[in-house]
Amino acid sequence: MPDESVSSRLSRLLKPRLPFGRGPAPFPPDFLFGVGTSDHQCEAYEPRWEDVRDRWERERGRTPRGRAADFWTRHGEDIELARVLGCRAFRFSVAWARVEPEPGRFDPDVLRHYRGIVRRIGAAGMVPVVTLHHFTWPLHVEARGGMISAGFPAWFAEYADRVAEALGPEVGYWITFNEPTFLPLGYFKPWGMRDYLLPPGVEGASSGEQVRGAEALMRNLFLAHREARLRIRARHRGARVGANPFVLGLPAGLQRWLDLRVRAVRSPEAWRRLERSTLEGYPDLLTGVVDVMFGAFTRTPEREKQVLFSIGYASCRPAVIVALDDPARDLADLAGARIAAVRASSAPAALARCGGHLELRWTRSLDVALRDLERGRVRGVLSDDRLLEPFLDRAPGRWRLVPLDVPPQEYGAAVALNREALRRETDAAIREVRGEPAPGAPGRGRRRDAWLSADALAAVRRRGVLVVGLRRGDSPFARRDPETGAWSGLEVDIARALARRLLGDASRVRFLAFDPMWRMSVLRSLWLRPLEFLQRLLTLFSTVANTDWWYLGMAGQLPAFLCPPECVGEMDFVGVDYYWGIPELRWDRMRALYDSVRADYERAPVHPRGLRRLLSRYARMFPGVEILVVENGCIEKADGVDRVRYLRAHAGEVQRAVAAGIPVRGYLYWSLTSNREWGRPFGPDSDFGLFHVDLDRDPELRRVPTPAAEAYREILRTRTAFPAPGGGVRDWMRRMGR
């Protein structure tokens, strides 16, 4: 075989292996193929049963679940869809907030409803798989201290007991906590993240407080799981109780190093030092030219990976400015026209996300783009409506705006990732200018938590002046008097309020103006970027973010202050949730893996062989204990791999594992239908459903089969993920033109 280049070899190794052609022995006849749903993601919202997640999403302006897929009333239809696919297992979750609307009061009607679902699943020839806690819990539990309260294990055990009593012995598998490895991220906010990934989120908590909260939660999860298992098995002898931690596919050497790192922890103090290293930023000398950047800076998911944004202080929508006599009235009228746009503007990306398209001519600033419009080089200029409105006032009767049907966006002030304390003070300054009460005392008196935690505030005070970046040119939020040079506007008022909080003098601000294309660069030092890579790795592979701590505890390999000895081995099966992984350490793949934890699924690295490696790992850790793949699934396309190829590749790795003697009992695809993906806008990059439901535009919520549904049905019919060449799904895909 001729030598191949390093790049082509890496490309070959990283390409997901697709299991077409001859393969291992078929799945055994009793193998449990199935699908899954969850209460919050699939059941319709009702105010009387609001849960912690509903409130958390509303407070943060995230997409509410609304009717979701309306599983509460349409569960019969969904169970039938699973039966037609050929499934032998059906997973659903019980909504604790519905079952126990008040402390100690359990709703018998709700329990009868869930009992009916169990019976309907059994009547359809499937095994019910029930989850008791699927990322949410009642408001009254949080009001009493939440999951870190000393009383939580008892509260959860009582709830589990009542549900076990009502649902009966027909439940095949009980899952106490869905993805317990993710739950600490509601108390622990990794470095560089604007907000917590999960509720409840403790605003303003120091790094030490975050670590202690995550520590208390981990211990409580083990205790609550044990108590619930004892209650369930007391009700139904032989019940199988476990959990399904979220796990990443990592290179074997890296996984061994992570295990050794965790096993080496012997005291709470050592563990807290280990975890706090993932929360704290870098010394101030690594920051860029400015402390805070305004400049009509739109908050976008892409930008939030590189800087920290404040809360919003103004909203905008993309629009196009055209001549007054231009006949265009909407986006369709501008199709094919040449439109100018600023290279650093977020408006084109927002337009593309909504399916809009224009032929764009890039410029370095809005002034240059408008000169092109005046000279007839372009038909219009695309930007935010708030930035274009001053030009209408400057030349009345000459221009007009064409509004675009695009969701509104927010402007926020940006700071470097290592300046969390400064970001909090900027939030407080924005609230002050709005006339809202600002939580907490001014940063001037904050306690220094570690050598890095107060760096940004201390550096500003040493310098004696706050350096603020603004947008060069006309802006409705920051204007400079051409004669006096004085700045005025909303952004200027916020900057002065921030200077007053930090320095006690609103006048101690230096304003610098930049073209929009330089806004990100002046915030971030070049020296910070290689260190960001190191910090992201530490964050991803901390004990809290390390996706395997649950089973290290079950195997007796965590210290007793995290997993009490009586909790070791308290499980009847090994549950696994697997989606993404990497075969080797590469910067681009590591960054994509880090982003996948933040729910950026489109770039999430697909690594099917990682699933089989994990199944082999758990077979060694827990000899003779059956394994259940509780979740595995894909959005429409991730990492260039569509859902059909992803499904067949991962099912093929499970088939290889079973053929090798690994005791995998079942595989449940996530998810049966489209669902609300935890506050994210609904679209192809958040839809995991085998059956597509247009959650936003179809009032009938019709279930439409996707190509992956047909592929899954074929796997279940033939008992193999390896169809013969020229047959099965390959023929079907050819007929569909795929």
Same domain for 358 and 226: no
Residue pair 125/88 in contact (Cβ under 8 Å)? The answer is: yes
3-class DSSP assignment, residue 468:
strand
Based on the fold, state whether residues 402 and 425 are members of the same structural domain: no
With a cut of 80, say whether residue 382 has pLDDT above it.
yes
Last residue of a domain, one of 407, 425, 454: 407
Q: Which residues pair with 174 in a beta bridge?
A: 130, 241
125 pLDDT tier (thresholds 50, 70, 90):
very high
Exposure letters 42-75 (e unless 16+ CB within 10 A, then b): bbbeeeebebbbbebbeeeebbebebbbbbbebb
Query: Measured between alpha carbons, how far apart are the two ends of the chain, in Å?
Result: 32
Kindly state whether residues 456 and 559 are assigned to the same domain: no
Q: What is the mean pLDDT of residues 417-443?
A: 79
CATH number of the domain encompassing residue 475:
3.40.190
Do residues 333 and 327 touch, judged by C-beta distance below 8 A?
yes
In this predicted structure, the answer to whether residue 6 has a pLDDT above a threshold of 80 is: no
CA dihedral 221, 222, 224, 226 (to 10 degrees): 160
Residue 441 banded pLDDT, cuts 50, 70, 90: very low
81-93 per-position pLDDT tens digit: 999 999 999 999 9
pLDDT tens readout for residues 666-676: 999 999 999 99
Q: What is the pLDDT of residue 52?
A: 97
User: Do 308 and 355 belong to one domain?
Assistant: no
293 part of a folded domain? yes
Domain that holds residue 123: 13-277+530-735
Q: What is the pLDDT of residue 2?
A: 41
- Within a domain: 166: yes
Domains held by the chain: number: 3
Question: With pLDDT > 70 as the criterion, what percentage of the chain qualifies?
Answer: 86
pLDDT at 724 over 80: no
Tokens of 654: 């499970």
Do 304 and 424 lie in one domain? The reply is yes
Domain final residue, candidates 407, 437, 472: 407
Q: What pLDDT, on the 0 to 100 scale, is given for residue 287? A: 59
Of residues 15 and 216, more confidence is placed in 216
Rounded distance between C-alpha atoms, residue 214 and residue 148, angstroms: 8
pLDDT of residue 159: 98
Which range of 340-349, 486-495, 532-541 scores highest in mean pLDDT? It is 486-495
Residue 9: the pLDDT is 42
What pLDDT shows up at residue 453? 38
Residue 254: predicted pLDDT: 85
In a shared domain, residues 396 and 518: no
Give me the DSSP letters along 198-241: SSS--TT--HHHHHHHHHHHHHHHHHHHHHHHHHHHHHSTT--E
Instruction: Please report the pLDDT score of residue 533 as a whole number.
Output: 60
- Beta bridge partner(s), residue 641: 638
Q: What is the sign of the dihedral through the CA atoms of 377, 378, 379 and 383?
A: negative
Residue 262, CA distances (Å) to 212, 258, 276 in order = 17, 6, 14
Residue 131 neighbours by CB distance under 10 Å: 25
Whether residue 415 sits in one domain with residue 395: no
Structure tokens given for 328: 């265009």
- 428 neighbors 438 (Cβ within 8 angstroms): yes
pLDDT band at 21, cuts 50/70/90?
A: very low
Higher-confidence residue of 588 and 496: namely 496
What letter does residue 334 receive in the DSSP assignment? G
Q: Given this model, what pLDDT does residue 367 score?
A: 85
Let me know: does 117 contact 164? Beta carbons within 8 Å. no
Q: What is the pLDDT of residue 304?
A: 82
Same domain, 614 and 652: yes
Q: What letter does residue 73 receive in the DSSP assignment?
A: H
- pLDDT of 5 > 50? The answer is no
pLDDT tens-digit map of 94-108? 999 999 999 999 999
Same domain, 82 and 217: yes
Give the residue-averaged pLDDT of 494-523: 90
- Name the least confident of 110-119, 150-159, 204-213: 204-213
Top-confidence residue, 529 or 560: 560
The tokens for 483 are 């004669």
pLDDT of residue 446: 37
Answer whether residue 307 is part of any domain.
yes
Among residues 523, 558, 581, which one ends one of the domains?
A: 523
Residue 668 is assigned to a structural domain of this protein: yes
SS3 assignment, position 352: helix
When pLDDT is averaged across residues 217-243 and rounded to a whole number, the result is 97
| pLDDT, position 77 | 98
Q: Are 228 and 570 in contact (CB under 8 A)?
A: no
Written as six digits, the tokens of 230 are 């004892």
712 in a structural domain? yes
Range in 276-285, 306-315, 537-546, 648-657 with the lowest mean pLDDT:
276-285
Least confident of 220-234, 373-387, 685-699: 373-387
**Three-state DSSP class for 487?**
strand
Which has the minimum average pLDDT: 301-310, 498-507, 532-541? 532-541
Same domain (yes/no): 362, 236: no
Which of the pair, 194 or 505, is modelled with greater confidence?
Answer: 505
**Span 131-150, pLDDT tens digits:** 999 999 999 999 999 999 99
Statement to judge: residues 204 and 332 lie in one domain: no
The closest of 243, 303, 70 to 622, measured between CA atoms, is: 243
CA geometry: angle 262, 559, 177, nearest 5 deg = 85
- pLDDT tens digits, residue range 463-495? 899 999 998 876 889 999 888 889 999 999 999
For residue 592, what is the domain's CATH number? 3.20.20.80
Q: Where are the beta strands (DSSP E) in 589-676?
A: 627-631, 637-638, 641-642, 664-669
Question: Is 4 domain-assigned?
Answer: no
The pLDDT score that the predictor gives to residue 639 is 95
| 334: CATH | 3.40.190.10
With respect to residue 571, please indicate whether it lies within any of the assigned structural domains: yes
* Band of pLDDT at residue 22, cut at 50, 70 and 90: low
* Cβ atoms within 10 Å, residue 730: 16
Within-domain flag for 252:
yes
Q: How far apart are CA 340 and CA 72, in angstroms?
A: 49
Percent of the chain past pLDDT 90, that is, above it, reads 60
Asked whether residue 678 falls in the same domain as residue 693, the answer is yes
